[in-house]
Structure 1
């Protein structure tokens, strides 16, 4: 009779170990990738007066940097290709940093998953330590907060 309990105890321990391993692996796989977290911000502390600054401040954000140019270099085979991205502002609220992208009349965003991916995903991947991207339309007084998430976060 004692052998029966030993076997049952071994199966129970194996099940617990398997369950914990499975949950740990699932959590590890679903963790967001940190592609470029070693990049730091070169803050531009001179903040020019703009309606967007006032809109952000009224919404509870503190503007900590004005427009930044982020130089990018890509190596394709043996050639170096240069480009840049622009961040309109960096703001802070509740200890979290947000990148700000201003709405532009000539280049709007299509508010679909693929439209947001095309226009804003590079910002989210370039600085994953940021809480998200704020899309600010100063003309209409709108601020949209965009974060990269999974369906499981809902």
Structure 2
């Protein structure tokens, strides 16, 4: 009986330890319903040419923030929901009045809210139909920090003095 009790304590200890060390994952409680009516647009054609299936047209995600005793409202817009190889992607289209700054901070500002709110999605697709451009944006770790300033300068992402 002592052996059985020791085994149960050991299993309980290992289970608890595994549970505590499990990585913290963000899960969004903010869902959305797919919009079945998909209007024709060059961005839809570009996505389909790249092998994506467009599942939904424009969505508006309402947000509310509690700041002290005030409730502030805002919203995020998702242009399309697309799927490929069983993975779902949020799609943002290029806007002339809101150009994307293709730097780390620009990507963070423009796309991080979507990546954090919907971690179950494989990433965000940025579509510029006028330039026939499709970019996939995913959130990764910063393990490859060995990129030199020279490489960044060559790509136009680093200014030298």
With the shorter chain as reference, the TM-score category is: 0.7 to 0.9
In the alignment, what sits opposite 1:50? 41
Structure 2 CA distance for aligned equivalents of residues 107 and 146 of structure 1: 17
Per the normalisation by structure 1, the TM-score is 0.77
In the alignment, what sits opposite 1:133? 124
Please identify the structure whose Cα radius of gyration is greater: 1
The CA deviation string for residues 77-99 of structure 1, in whole angstroms up to 9 with x for no partner, is 11110000100000000000000
Q: How does 1:28-107 map to 2 (within 5 A)?
A: 28=22, 31=23, 33-36=25-28, 38-107=29-98
Cα offset for 1:39? 2.8
| Counterparts in 2 of 1:46 and 1:153: CA distance versus 1, 3 Å | farther
Gaps of 5+ in 1: 1-20
For the 8 Å contact 2:51–2:84, the answer to whether it is kept is yes
In the alignment, what sits opposite 1:148? 139
Cα offset for 1:153? 8.0
Larger helix share, 1 or 2: 1
Aligned positions, number: 127
Cα offset for 1:151? 3.0
- 1:117 is the counterpart of 2:108: yes
Report the more deviating stretch, 68-77 or 39-48. Answer: 39-48
Structure 2 CA distance for aligned equivalents of residues 62 and 135 of structure 1: 15
Cα offset for 1:41? 2.4
Structure 2 CA distance for aligned equivalents of residues 82 and 40 of structure 1: 17
Per the normalisation by structure 2, the TM-score is 0.73
Gaps of 5+ in 2: 1-16, 146-161
Cα offset for 1:106? 1.1
Structure 2 CA distance for aligned equivalents of residues 63 and 121 of structure 1: 22
